[in-house]
Structure 1
Amino acid sequence: MTTAALLPLEQHESPWPAADTVVLRNRPLRVGTDPAMLSRFGDPVWHIKPAHPDAHLNIAALIWARYPNTFQLPFKTFFLAALDHPYPGDPAVQRGGERAGVATFRYWFMDLEIFAKWLDDHGITRLCDVTAQDLDAYRAHVLGLSRKEGRKIDMLAAVRTLWLYGPHLPEEGRLSTGYPWPGASDDDPKRPAEGRENKTPRIAPETMTALLAWALHVVESVGPDVRDAWVTHQQINAGVHPSQAEYRGPTFDRVLQYIERCRRTGESLPGLRQKDGTVTVNCNAIKRMIRTPELKVRVGITPSQKRMLSDSGLPIAQDTYVGQIAGMIDGRPWRETPITLTELRTLVRMVAAACFVVICYLSGARPGEVLNLRPGCREVDEETGELLMVGRRGKGFDRASLLPEEVTEDQRPWVVVAPVHAAIALLESLGDYPFLFPASFTNAHAARPNEFNARQGWSINNDLEDLLAWVNATFRRPGEALPIPPDPTKHLHASRFRRTLAYFIVRRPRGLVAAALQYAHVHTKVTLSYAGRSDTTWMDDIHIETLELVLEQNEQDARLLNEGEHVSGPSADEYRHRVRARARFAGRVVTAGKSVERLLDQANPNIHHGEGMTCVWRRETAACRQARLEAGLPAEDGPDESECRSACTNLAYTDRSIVEQRLRLKRWEVTAADRLAPRPLRDRAAALAAGSRAIIDAHGHTTDSNNQTREH
């Protein structure tokens, strides 16, 4: 959407743009923008946030009072040209055709402010009067500043950008010199090489596992109770709750009707706890409940009516309750007392934070992509039945925040798991908001209204910290450890979720993981979401985590083998050969995803430690692969533990495997001897026990590579 096009610069009598020129006239605007509120060329402050596609970012306004008066007009003209036209071709770096994002303007504004003030301090009042000698003097000034090298580069680049837009500027407002500083010299500032290494620290496994588990608890058990209380509170405030329909007449009559209702239903009067600990009648809550006539809203309940409530003989509750408890955690209600009005806003924020954990972590989406999700983003693929989450891309210069009917390629789906859909549905049921995560569910600030802004990244990070503290304070039992242990590295940040998810997917912890949610399932869904897309950072994270796991496993396997760990099974010799061949790794610096892939190919022995066994993978002899082919399923190029066959020739058993087999044997023997268990279950347990016993016996009587018989 754009505003009505005004006359181009060259058609005005003045070489400068007219004061009423809309500065965002050629930019697509965010949905909900009021055209009448758009900034004009002559305004002392330009608000360019409506042209940024991300509703969770707060783009700083351009405040022209920071520039010298003599340079406000020419630099305003430059920024208008930069908003109107694509970035010109740079003689050094060809970027022609790209349109500068409005977030970039904040940095250009700061860098060119320094240039404008330097010109003003040196008596230069027009850009066209700047000489090559002046530019060299300014360059020397920048190089002498106590700034980081990268900042110096940006300050000089901003002047080059000003020169590049010269064809779109009046003669008086352009640099008339040649291209500034075209040749590199020895004293040029050097930007430090950073490479493509992902420096985002993972969240500690103990913290992340507990955080996800409790987020799921909150979504499933706490969320519906909080939602019902919040909806009831909103309906009472709006005067549309079903219980309010019976109140008629003036306020006095309504108070009497309310007293009679409480006597009839056995309800207590809502309480309000004072600072001294006493509890009085919450008259404001009663005023909302009885729908005080509009003319009496400011007056509310009179002193005589308050005495009537106090003298009614009705008990006064310890607080104002707005919701009941129905959700259960571990077989009992998640709290003993009903939800109170004073804590409702906090509980809504905690439920939203839990939903964010589930959606962001289990989808693999970036925090900004999740914060920009809108209601109705749940979909199901008609052909495959896959659950989808549809939002907008979080990267790319050509992203646009167009009106819904204009959005096409900017939308993208994520393939997700069922808990993500459940969390989205819960957020949608909280009320009619334009975003799943509005600027505020409860009291949005006028400067960041809900209808235009989503919750900011720093706010959701604070919510995550508060969620952790709230869970630990609410659900910790005496004498037990914290439900969610704090992360030892740093505070929780949403940007750490993707790296942590990659870690868990590669490691695939065994046993009950976050309410039986299988990371293998999430791996399939999330990887499918990113397959074939231009965003390769997710797969880079997967490869890096896989490489780290392989190197750690190689080191451990080689150390244990040298210490005398025994290996049995049909692939025992191949296991020992691969471990010894790949054990040594001196270390190598990698700066790109392809380098990680090549190093992974060199270091990976394709040995997979499973539950009570080890797979020395060979696709030609893999029984699990053959089983999938016989069932008409696609064969994966890796072991499938769910299809593992005890007769597979890829199997090997280490001493670590036998420890697990002994534990399993005890469990199977107990089940097989349980006379109260169904016969088929006992027979199956007996068969599994016999299989484990055979593996243990064979391991104890086989010989290792130096022909020594092992007796266990």
Structure 2
Amino acid sequence: MTTPAAAQGLEPEVFVLSAWPLKPGLRLEDTSRFADSTWQLGHAVHRLNVRSLTLCFDRVPQPFRATAKQLCLAMLSGPLPPAEKRPCLDTVHTGFQEAVRFLTWVDQRPGPRFRCLATLTAADLLDYQDMLRRIVRSVSGRSKARSAVRWFWRWRDHLTDCLAFDPRHMDDWGEKSVRRHQRPQENRTQRIPEDVMGPLFVWALRFIDHFAADICAADGQWQRQRWGMPVDRTTRVSEVSTRAALEATLDTYLAHNRPLPGWRGQPNLIRIARQTGYHRAMFRDPALRLLVASAAAAVGVAETAGFDLDIQGRMDGRPWIGQIVTSHFHDHGLAMLARMLQTAAYIVIAYLSGMRDSEVKALARGCLRTETDSSGRSYRWKVTSLSFKGEADPRGVTAIWNVGEPVARAITVLELLQPPGVDHLFNRLDHGAGGHKGRRHAAMTTGQTNDNLNHFVAWVNRYCDSHGRHDAIPAVSGRSFKLHTAQFRRTLAWFIARRPGGTIAGALQYRHHSIQVFEGYAGTSDSGFRAEVESEQALARGEHLLTVIDAHEHTRLAGPAAAEAARRLEEFGQRTRFQGTVVLDDRRLRRIMNRDDPAIYPGTYITCVHDPAKALCERARQGAFEGLGDHPQCQPLACRNVALTTENTDAWRKEIDLVDQQLTRRPPLPPLLQNRLLRRKHQIEDFLATAQEPS
């Protein structure tokens, strides 16, 4: 075959990221070249939650290594073939793993036909597909693997060795279950169960509202002692001054009869030196060690060292913790508690904002803006960050989220927790062993946050066990529920769609919160969060309608649209039954709702059997988002799309009772208001009487 000119002209020193904007401070000369065995894509990754992406070509069999490099260079920075778009770095990185799998499989096959890609046949690719079916469990995973194989055809103009045909034109290539779906696949991220999310959210708020002041105070002491040392180990100081300072420190312990800070049963000389204001090198002097030993004999030695502060936070009227200690690994240590506080802030922000992990990690100092009314009362909080998903600029696009007050409090705590000079709020904290060794100003990756989320659950449960509390975060099916960052966005969509009660209801009004969220970036089509909520609402509505059908409540509806509702629900019930059983699988029910939605929307006062030709409201399809029958444009007493369930009728009768209470109150209401209420009562009574008449 003819060797493409583009592939022939490759030079070993070509920069593979020449088409990408680099991270601040990097030059193109600092990035990977074509000849390198490992390409560092992380130099052009601007999302802070991703540490690095690498392509290691040593994993590719030697006969196909040059082809793999040519393919990746073409996708990263080469000229684009007709109708192709530049793939994102994540796509190249993920597809590379699948390309390695394919090329390794080819290399291990016997026979001369497998020494290059151009001589592979359709039967060979079908053999590879059979292998994928055996070892890759998910349909989507097998689809991604096949897509990587097809790259060797799509980018053929840049390869010295490529497939001789398009695999997509093979009769048996692919799977029917994948080809059938024209819509994007629904979000399959597992949501956090309500009985887990409730206590998890409450404990996160406790850290922010009750524990944060003490943790930040201890952190302030630690920062001053760590970075504000007046001398270092090489500085020679006066023996008189160090002895006087040490005696003053020890006298404080003796005066209060407090044990000296300890470490493994001995006085903690590092802690004592920092309290004194000098480096631990001061204790090279045996006389000073003797002073410490004398004080220890008088007041004893504590199990560990603690910070000098009075605990302000309360749980059930008592201090939430005895003291915050300096040990990195202790449950009450500053390193542990600061990490748990940062994790608590992440939980609140990710759950209440609808932001993705990359968007949360881009939050920086000063990102919060508070709007106040004329009296100075705060009423709106806006957060500025960067959006990456679906954006043309890999550096991210500025976006603004409207958030609730808990998110504002979490951001304020994070700004206190990060030391001055550190801008990003989810940078790794300095506390802990090795925290000073080149780790400052490094953002946490998604994997590190996932670990911290599950450590948070474990910490809370240990705390509850040791304090005899009964509000621990429960297990699911006998095992601790495994948290990860992507679950919070999905869970918020579920909660907004269903607005359940439970533990969180007292801390959050979901109707008001959903309005806040959808006023900002989360409510735009670019965010994709509105679509997730609408999908969850459709699923919740489908589950409700199936319950109505199973209880035969659709045969007892009243109102002008009752007959139409019964007909639609009967057809919907037939489509959701399989061998006599109602389908309750979320994915199948969501597909049924996408295809055969009966357009029936349960509400507090009415059940809307939506027909645009009869609708008096102006919302049409948009009305489904807020719940038809509940939004201001709905005219339930006059609309012909109205059907009434027993619950709807009961809600109207409660409305009549409230009107009666207002009409009989003393002192009486003004006559004009009385007339309006009385007219409202008669309208409702006439509406209910007419609704009960046979249609």
State TM-score, norm by structure 1: 0.70
Tell me if 1:390 matches 2:373: no
Aligned to 1:484: 473
Counterpart among 325, 341, 351 of residue 340 in structure 1: 325
Following TM superposition, by how much is the alpha carbon of 1:466 offset from its aligned partner in structure 2, in angstroms? 2.3
Cα contact 2:153–2:166 (8 A) shared by 1:
no
Between the aligned residues of both structures, percent identity stands at 22
Q: C-alpha distance in 2, partners of 1:442/1:314? A: 29
Give the partner amino acid of 1:259.
E
Cα contact 1:66–1:113 (8 A) shared by 2:
no
Q: C-alpha distance in 1, partners of 2:102/2:543? A: 51
Aligned to 1:415, the other structure's residue is in SS state strand
Following TM superposition, by how much is the alpha carbon of 1:442 offset from its aligned partner in structure 2, in angstroms? 2.9
Q: C-alpha distance in 2, partners of 1:655/1:510? A: 20
Comparing 219-228 with 371-380, greater Cα deviation is found at 371-380
Aligned to 1:47: 40
Aligned to 2:417: 430
Aligned to 1:339, the other structure's residue is in SS state coil
Cα contact 1:438–1:450 (8 A) shared by 2:
no
Q: C-alpha distance in 2, partners of 1:103/1:564? A: 52
Tell me if 1:85 matches 2:73: no
Q: C-alpha distance in 2, partners of 1:448/1:138? A: 52
Cα contact 1:271–1:316 (8 A) shared by 2:
yes
Q: C-alpha distance in 2, partners of 1:564/1:75? A: 64
Q: C-alpha distance in 1, partners of 2:433/2:26? A: 17
Cα contact 1:215–1:358 (8 A) shared by 2:
yes
Aligned to 1:187: 172
Cα contact 2:262–2:268 (8 A) shared by 1:
yes
Following TM superposition, by how much is the alpha carbon of 1:181 offset from its aligned partner in structure 2, in angstroms? 3.1
Aligned to 2:400: 413
Q: C-alpha distance in 2, partners of 1:603/1:556? A: 13
1:362-511 mapped onto 2 (5 Å cutoff): 362-380=352-370, 386-396=380-390, 398-401=392-395, 410-432=397-419, 433-443=422-432, 450=439, 453-475=442-464, 481-488=470-477, 490-509=481-500
Comparing 586-595 with 67-76, greater Cα deviation is found at 586-595
Counterpart among 69, 72, 75 of residue 76 in structure 1: 69
Aligned to 1:306: 289
Cα contact 2:603–2:630 (8 A) shared by 1:
no
Aligned to 2:637: none
Give the partner amino acid of 1:174.
T
RMSD: 5.4
Comparing 590-599 with 363-372, greater Cα deviation is found at 590-599
**Cα deviation 1:562-602 (Å, max 9, x = unaligned):** 6999x9xxxx8679879866664415498899984785562
Give the partner amino acid of 1:416.
V
Counterpart among 56, 66, 69 of residue 59 in structure 2: 66
Give the partner amino acid of 1:379.
R
Cα contact 1:387–1:415 (8 A) shared by 2:
yes
1:59-138 mapped onto 2 (5 Å cutoff): 59-69=52-62, 71-73=64-66, 75-85=68-78, 87-89=80-82, 94=83, 96-108=84-96, 110-112=98-100, 114-115=102-103, 118=106, 130=116, 132-134=118-120
Q: C-alpha distance in 1, partners of 2:120/2:436? A: 42
Aligned to 1:285: 271
Counterpart among 595, 603, 607 of residue 603 in structure 2: 607
Cα contact 2:607–2:644 (8 A) shared by 1:
yes
**Cα deviation 1:78-130 (Å, max 9, x = unaligned):** 433332135423xxxx4x233442552343255147427846977989x9x95
Comparing 583-592 with 159-168, greater Cα deviation is found at 583-592
Q: C-alpha distance in 2, partners of 1:251/1:75? A: 67
Aligned to 2:406, the other structure's residue is in SS state helix
Following TM superposition, by how much is the alpha carbon of 1:257 offset from its aligned partner in structure 2, in angstroms? 1.0
**Cα distance 1:79–1:205, how it changes in 2: closer, same or farther (>3 A)?**
closer
Which runs of 5 or more residues in structure 2 are unaligned? Answer: 328-332, 577-582, 611-615, 618-625, 633-641, 670-676
Report the count of equivalent residues.
618
1:509-528 mapped onto 2 (5 Å cutoff): 509=500, 513=504, 515-528=506-519
Q: C-alpha distance in 2, partners of 1:373/1:66? A: 37
Q: C-alpha distance in 1, partners of 2:207/2:441? A: 28
**Cα deviation 1:475-531 (Å, max 9, x = unaligned):** 469776334333459423332222322232233345984553211121102222357
Cα contact 1:112–1:155 (8 A) shared by 2:
no
Cα contact 2:426–2:444 (8 A) shared by 1:
yes
**Cα distance 1:617–1:510, how it changes in 2: closer, same or farther (>3 A)?**
farther
Give the partner amino acid of 1:390.
T
Aligned to 1:254: 242
Aligned to 1:545: 536
Cα contact 2:430–2:440 (8 A) shared by 1:
no
Following TM superposition, by how much is the alpha carbon of 1:212 offset from its aligned partner in structure 2, in angstroms? 1.4
**Cα distance 1:577–1:42, how it changes in 2: closer, same or farther (>3 A)?**
closer
Give the partner amino acid of 1:97.
K
Aligned to 2:304: 319
**Cα distance 1:230–1:530, how it changes in 2: closer, same or farther (>3 A)?**
same
Q: C-alpha distance in 1, partners of 2:540/2:219? A: 46
Following TM superposition, by how much is the alpha carbon of 1:184 offset from its aligned partner in structure 2, in angstroms? 2.0
Give the partner amino acid of 2:346.
F
Aligned to 2:206: 217
Which runs of 5 or more residues in structure 1 are unaligned? Answer: 1-8, 402-406, 609-613, 620-624, 627-634, 642-648, 673-678, 684-690, 708-712
Following TM superposition, by how much is the alpha carbon of 1:329 offset from its aligned partner in structure 2, in angstroms? 4.2
Aligned to 2:636: none
Q: C-alpha distance in 1, partners of 2:319/2:627? A: 43
